[in-house]
Amino acid sequence: MSNDYQFDVLIIGSGAAGLMSAIQLSNNMSIAVIAKDKVLEGSSYYAQGGISAVLDPNDNFESHITDTINTGLNLGNEKSIRFMVENAPHAITDLEKTGVQFSTIDNKYDLTTEGGHSSNRVAHVADKTGQSIQVNLLAQVKKKSNIKLFEEYIAVDLIVKEGKCYGAYVYDKNSEEVITFCSKKTILATGGASKSYLYTSNPDTSTGDGIAMAYRAGCEITNMEFTQFHPTCLFHPHAKSFLISETLRGEGAKLLLPDGKEFMHKYDDRLELAPRDIVARAIDNEMKVHGFDCVYLDFSFKDEEWIKSRFPTISQRCSELGIDIAKEALPVVPAAHYTCGGVNTNIDAQSNITNLYAVGEVAHTGVHGANRMASNSLLECIVFAKSCADHISKSKLEKILPINAKWDESRVAPSKEKVVIAHLWHEIRLIMWNFVGIVRSNNRLKSAYLKIQQINKEVNEYYRVYIVTEDLIELRNLAQTSKIIVESALSRKESRGLHFNQDYPNQKSETENTVITKP
């Protein structure tokens, strides 16, 4: 037997989904949480806008459900959406129990709005909601003696035999060894795949690892054509697509052309608060038609002191870059932001592989359909982390069998040409940005498919002969996830939400999910 570690539950990922799952699991279970970077690094930490929930007596569940279905262009699963929306107030309470203090006015939640919401239902902690959630969740995790954190450990592949998951092979970045983590239950909480694109609001962790691992293990991967582009990331050479929260538009910020003229009235009656797919496409169109490098977001008409206290993170980052948000309009462009598709799961977060669960951005629970409504993602993380943990805590844990699953490095050698990895990594991201972006066409998608397929062949060959490194693990996952995105986009013969194909500009009357599985 060669099991290096054994736990009742292995959680891969320490974002809001992973940490909340760990907290909600029974204290009797031994739990490992592994993170491929520092524990706090991941999209969750950078979330600005907030988390949606019906908290105002004048709002109601049916309205939140309808807004979510409409924003997702009717592709969402109503049962999952209802489950998420009805559990949202509990999710807020669960977060408050960990220590999160949402912003208030007159002792009431300071609820704001974003695109697609017909009521103010976005609870926030100024513009650092994710930071507050992550810091508090981590503090709770650290109090629990049954949870062990493994920082800078990157999962390479799931261990699956005869349709059951027994844990994962994990690369320890410091010792450079691959270790076997055996577990009775495994939760994927690895976040999204927006790093497949050249420009993204996401941190470096979002390389689609969980989606690629699940695909290789035999999971159903659903609706991956729906990459969400956030309309407003800062256009600045040193900003690395820093996000300018949609809640600025929720508080009245205007989108302008370089000559100061407004343009959203040409695209949607809801103007700046139309759903994200519409606003991103509008900006993309204005930039392409006129050859602009960016458009502008103007908030300078608001009171300076209020801006600084309501949006401290954004004010400070802009100021570091020499932009005074209270005095001038911000140059903004769209960038890849969120992966709506992912590992197909039910309401208990179960995948189609026994003992394997997926929670958070890595999962496809069916709540987002063809376009995620703003601030529904943190909500999805918290609600489904709980249902996942409840399901595991109630289920009978099978004994860990000796599975003889030692990592075999006998046929590989250290690489002498790491330049190949850097090159292919960049090539994928460029292809995805130029050929599989906000507006698509059959020709560009077909061309992207051929190129990405070829890159996958090269990466697999490289992987076969060289010892794994962090970059190689991520490149392999990025290549595989990008191929799934392109395949999914090619198979959808309509335009819906975030997937707009010029060759099929209309939306079909019937709805269908795109499901990709390993041949």
Residues identified as active-site: 276
Q: Are 336 and 357 within 8 A, CB to CB?
A: no
Which residues are within 8 A (CB) of 173 and not within 5 positions of it... i.e. 6 or more apart? 36, 152, 153, 154, 470
374 interacts with ligand SIN by CB under 6 A: yes
Query: From its phi and psi, is residue 327 left (phi > 0), alpha (psi between -120 and 50) or beta?
Result: alpha
Nearer Cβ to ligand FAD, position 100 or 490?
Answer: 100
Which residues does residue 153 pair with via DSSP β-bridges, in sequence order?
172
Shortest separation between residue 39's beta carbon and ligand FAD, angstroms: 7
Q: Are 27 and 144 within 8 A, CB to CB?
A: yes
Nearer Cβ to ligand SIN, position 234 or 448?
Answer: 234
Shortest separation between residue 226's beta carbon and ligand FAD, angstroms: 13
CA atoms within 13 A on the CB side of 48: 23
Q: In the range 331-350, which residues lie near ligand FAD by CB under 6 A?
A: 338
Nearer Cβ to ligand SIN, position 103 or 377?
Answer: 377
In which residue are the tokens 């806008």 written? 49
Nearer Cβ to ligand FAD, position 38 or 108?
Answer: 38
Applying CB under 6 A, among 9, 16, 244, 280 the residue interacting with ligand FAD is 16
Q: In the range 245-284, which residues lie near ligand SIN by CB under 6 A?
A: 245-247
| Residue 189 main-chain phi, psi, to 5 deg | -140, 50
37 interacts with ligand FAD by CB under 6 A: yes
Q: In the range 312-331, which residues lie near ligand FAD by CB under 6 A?
A: none
In 110-235 the beta strands, taken as DSSP E runs, fall at 122-123, 147-151, 153-161, 164-172, 177-188, 221-222, 227-234
Nearer Cβ to ligand FAD, position 339 or 495?
Answer: 339
Q: Are 516 and 492 within 8 A, CB to CB?
A: no
482 interacts with ligand SIN by CB under 6 A: no
Parallel/antiparallel/unpaired status of strands 5-12 and 177-188: parallel
Shortest separation between residue 323's beta carbon and ligand SIN, angstroms: 18
Applying CB under 6 A, among 10, 92, 111, 155 the residue interacting with ligand FAD is 155
DSSP string, 426-471: HHHHHHHHHHSSSEE-HHHHHHHHHHHHHHHHHHHHHHHHB---HH
Interface mask toward ligand FAD for 238-257; x: CB under 6 A: -----x--------------
Shortest separation between residue 109's beta carbon and ligand FAD, angstroms: 15
d(C-alpha 282, C-alpha 291), whole Å:
14
Parallel/antiparallel/unpaired status of strands 342-344 and 363-364: parallel
190 binds, among ligand FAD, ligand SIN, none (CB under 5 to 8 A by kind): ligand FAD
Neighbours of 140 (CB within 10 A): 16
Applying CB under 6 A, among 49, 116, 342, 497 the residue interacting with ligand SIN is 49
Shortest separation between residue 395's beta carbon and ligand FAD, angstroms: 22
**Burial class of residue 366 (count of CB atoms within 10 Å of its CB; 0-12, 13-18, 19+):** buried
Q: In the range 45-84, which residues lie near ligand FAD by CB under 6 A?
A: 46-51
Count of chain residues binding ligand SIN (CB under 6 A): 8
Report the alpha-carbon angle 308-312-313, nearest 5: 145
Nearer Cβ to ligand FAD, position 378 or 486?
Answer: 378
Query: 81 to each of 24, 306, 424, 471, 510, how far by Cα in Å?
Result: 21, 35, 38, 36, 19
Applying CB under 6 A, among 21, 377, 481, 488 the residue interacting with ligand SIN is 377
Count of chain residues binding ligand FAD (CB under 6 A): 43
361 interacts with ligand SIN by CB under 6 A: no
Neighbours of 197 (CB within 10 A): 27
How many secondary structure helices (H) and strands (E) does the chain include? Answer: 14, 21
378 interacts with ligand FAD by CB under 6 A: yes
Nearer Cβ to ligand SIN, position 247 or 482?
Answer: 247
Shortest separation between residue 86's beta carbon and ligand FAD, angstroms: 17
Shortest separation between residue 8's beta carbon and ligand SIN, angstroms: 33
Applying CB under 6 A, among 48, 136, 315, 501 the residue interacting with ligand SIN is 48
497 binds, among ligand SIN, ligand FAD, none (CB under 5 to 8 A by kind): none
Q: Which of 167, 168, 204, 226 is nearest to 489 (CA)?
A: 226
Q: In the range 94-113, which residues lie near ligand SIN by CB under 6 A?
A: none
**Segment contacting ligand FAD (CB under 6 A): 138-146, 328-336, 377-385, 481-489?**
377-385
Nearer Cβ to ligand FAD, position 45 or 466?
Answer: 45
In which residue are the tokens 């606003």 written? 279
Nearer Cβ to ligand FAD, position 129 or 315?
Answer: 129
**Burial class of residue 70 (count of CB atoms within 10 Å of its CB; 0-12, 13-18, 19+):** middle
Interface residues with ligand SIN (CB under 6 A) are: 48-49, 245-247, 374-375, 377
Interface residues with ligand FAD (CB under 6 A) are: 12-18, 34-37, 41-44, 46-51, 129-130, 154-155, 189-191, 201-202, 205-206, 209, 243, 338, 360-362, 375-378, 381
